[in-house]
Amino acid sequence: MKEKIRIASGQGFWGDLIDAPYNQVFRGHIDYLVMDYLAEVTMSILQKQKNKNPDLGYARDIPELMKRILPECKNRNIKIITNGGGVNPISCAKAITEVAKHLDVKDLKVAVILGDDIKDRIDEIISSGCSLNNMETGESIEIVKDKILSANVYFGAFPIVEALKQNADIVITGRTTDTGLTLAPMIYEFGWNKSDYDLLAAGTVAGHILECGAQASGGNFLGDWKSVPNIYDIGFPIAEAYPNGEVVITKHENTGGKVSFETLSEQLLYEIGDPKNYITPDCIADFTSIKLEDLGNDRVRVYDVKGLPETEFYKVSCSYSDGFSSSATLTYSWPEALTKAKEADKILRKRLENLILKFDEIRTEFVGYNACHGPLAKQIDEDDINEIVLRIAVRSRDYNSVERFGKEIAPLILTGPPSVTGFAGGRPKPSEVVVYWPALIPKNLVQHQVKIFEV
Amino acid sequence: MKRIKLIYIAHGRSGDKGDAANIGIIAYDNHGYEIISKYLTAETVKKHFEGICFGKVERYELPNLRALNFVLHNTLGGGGTVSLKLDAQGKTLAAALLRLELEIE
């Protein structure tokens, strides 16, 4: 058994710093590179891409990244785990094997985890007694069933462990929990069992710290943010994991950013509910048990984590299409910038009303004044305001109303209040509103499969 | 009675969970944690976010991190891609809570 392993976070979301995973590989020692590409909305976007082209539906940054890191990772035996397979992990794996052939990388095993995609099984699942009703509102799935764009089960770490046991160099998954990506190599390397709940919880906590990339190492840090050194060259977090469940969070030497009690505590609180019940497919982690010890030099020890047994359910994330939205901005300058913006909003609303359009919501915000903090925004003297961005957004199930809204913005420049600018991007187009539908499914209704592609 | 602005004793981070926002507030030291654990109640937070949070506020304690976690329901204008808000994911709500002035004894 290895004495310790170093697991590096390479991506906090699809669209994160392109060079982050490259730097994790090339600027220091790591054993695993884990990359989270999937947000709730991402699956529906990928499903739409796959509907248009059956070879797409995965994070297309991955093959490009592999061109830069694959030979180095193979030489140094750095394993790569990512959920960037989206709704088409097989095509993602094939694209990677093509890159490997092109670069003459040999003896490469790319594993794919399948079975999370239940979009075509919904009727079968309902008829076997699982309602798939909305776990937050209790609504019946029947009201949205015909509009579903994607439906995926969140797998945990164990399918990835199975792939690692088959000597995979790269593991590509579809919808897997972000935490599972980091937990899996610990289970595999240290031989943890399914009932080692404290250890599984410790790895899950490490996964939660790593899943948002540099948000754990000084990015988006609301504490003393100006004290974060060289943030232009921010080092992404690395979990140095030990067989007893202790983890030291750090980053490569000579990179920017900061790993401290403060940066980690902010990330630990990110997007959590009840901290005693952090539920994953692998275990329930108790975030109130976590102990942090700041060792200095960008090293923080995370220990004493307690866990409870897993639940009998997987979480399901469905998405469905429900209407259209659009937003537009115009910028008004001093004098009376806010008054002008408010007047323009009134004029626009009156015109939309006269056109007898149908909207579910019209929202106005004054960027530079109250868009972020609404009624909590500090009152300021109008004369002190240099400029205001008027932002108006609409949503409707009627496409034509949303499209027509887009045509009413530019005319405000010549038919409304003065000293207005900032409308150069053309008419705003309606975009599809994708709604997220969370549900639960008994674990025995879903089976994962591991498929290996070899070069 | 004296008033103390939260930003001087704590920091935090916020994000989204559907239409709910969560705000984690972390005190800089143990004294700060004593203050927030005593005075930063769910009711105080709910009142502070009047006109922003339209649902209930849940409060959780994490003394191990000198932190409190608040879940604000019905806050993000529908959440996800439904929300028309500029800050549809509630990213700036932690900062908004740090505006709060606590009245302490």
- Looking at this protein, which amino acid is placed at residue A365? E
Instruction: Report, in this order, helix, strand and coil percent for chain B, each rounded to 5.
Output: 25, 35, 40
Q: What residue of A is the nearest CA neighbor of B96?
A: A373
Inter-chain residue contact A374 with B16, CB threshold 8 Å: no
DSSP for A98-162?
HHHHHHT--S-EEEEEE--B-GGGHHHHHHTT-----TTT---GGGTGGGEEEEEE-B-SHHHHH
Between B11, B69, B84, which is nearest A361 by CB?
Answer: B84
DSSP for A51-94?
HH-TT--S-THHHHHHHHHHHHHHHHT-EEEESTTTT-HHHHHH
Between B15, B60, B64, which is nearest A291 by CB?
Answer: B64
Q: Is A231 exposed, middle or buried (0-12, 13-18, 19+ CB in 10 A)?
A: middle
Inter-chain residue contact B63 with A327, CB threshold 8 Å: no
- Looking at this protein, which amino acid is placed at residue A353? E
Rounded Cα gap, residues A295 and A250, in angstroms: 10
Q: What is residue B64's three-state secondary structure?
A: helix
What's the confidence (pLDDT) of residue A352? 98
**Alpha helices per DSSP H over B20-85:** 30-39, 42-48
Q: What is the dihedral of CA A8, A31, A164, A54, to 10 degrees?
A: 50
Q: Is A243 exposed, middle or buried (0-12, 13-18, 19+ CB in 10 A)?
A: middle
Rounded Cα gap, residues A108 and A188, in angstroms: 19
Q: Has residue B75 got a pLDDT over 90? A: yes
Mutant choice from A249, A265, A267, A304 vs B, greatest count of B C-beta within 10 A: A265
Mutant choice from B23, B82, B87 vs A, greatest count of A C-beta within 10 A: B82
Between B61, B81, B85, which is nearest A363 by CB?
Answer: B85
What's the confidence (pLDDT) of residue B37? 98
Q: A84-109 b/e with 16+ CB inside 10 Å = b?
A: bbbbbbbbbbbbbbebbeebebeebb
Q: What residue of A is the nearest CA neighbor of B92?
A: A372
Taking CA atoms, A135 is separated from A119, A186, A276, A313, B18, in Å, by: 18, 31, 20, 12, 12
Taking CA atoms, A191 is separated from A183, A241, A245, in Å, by: 12, 13, 12
Distance (Å) from the C-alpha of residue A161 to the closest C-alpha of chain B?
28
Taking CA atoms, A315 is separated from A129, A135, B71, in Å, by: 16, 9, 20
Inter-chain residue contact A373 with B96, CB threshold 8 Å: yes
Residues of chain A with pLDDT under 70: none
Beta strand A284-286 with B20-27: parallel, antiparallel or unpaired?
unpaired
Instruction: Look up residue B22 and give its two tokens.
Output: 């969560």
What's the confidence (pLDDT) of residue B76? 97
pTM over 0.95? The answer is yes
Rounded Cα gap, residues A183 and A200, in angstroms: 7
Q: Residue A123 contacts by C-beta under 8 Å, 6 or more apart in sequence? A: none
What's the confidence (pLDDT) of residue A45? 86
Rounded Cα gap, residues A215 and A259, in angstroms: 10
Taking CA atoms, A272 is separated from A395, B9, B94, in Å, by: 29, 22, 14
Instruction: Look up residue A171 and give its two tokens.
Output: 């593991």
Inter-chain residue contact B16 with A394, CB threshold 8 Å: no
Between A41, A274, A376, which is nearest B60 by CB?
Answer: A274
Between A289, A372, A435, which is nearest B64 by CB?
Answer: A289
User: Using the 8-state DSSP alphabet, how is residue A412 labeled?
Assistant: H
Instruction: Look up residue B2 and give its two tokens.
Output: 């004296």
Taking CA atoms, A330 is separated from A201, A310, A412, A428, in Å, by: 49, 51, 9, 12
Q: What residue of B is the nearest CA neighbor of A374?
A: B52
The sign of the torsion formed by the CA atoms of A47, A51, A52, A54 equals: positive
What's the confidence (pLDDT) of residue B79? 87
Distance (Å) from the C-alpha of residue B22 to the closest C-alpha of chain A?
6
- ipTM exceeding the 0.85 mark: yes
Total CB pairs under 8 A between chain A and B = 127
Inter-chain residue contact B80 with A276, CB threshold 8 Å: no
Residue appearing with tokens 């699809």: A14
- Looking at this protein, which amino acid is placed at residue A222? L
What's the confidence (pLDDT) of residue A48? 86
- Looking at this protein, which amino acid is placed at residue A346? K
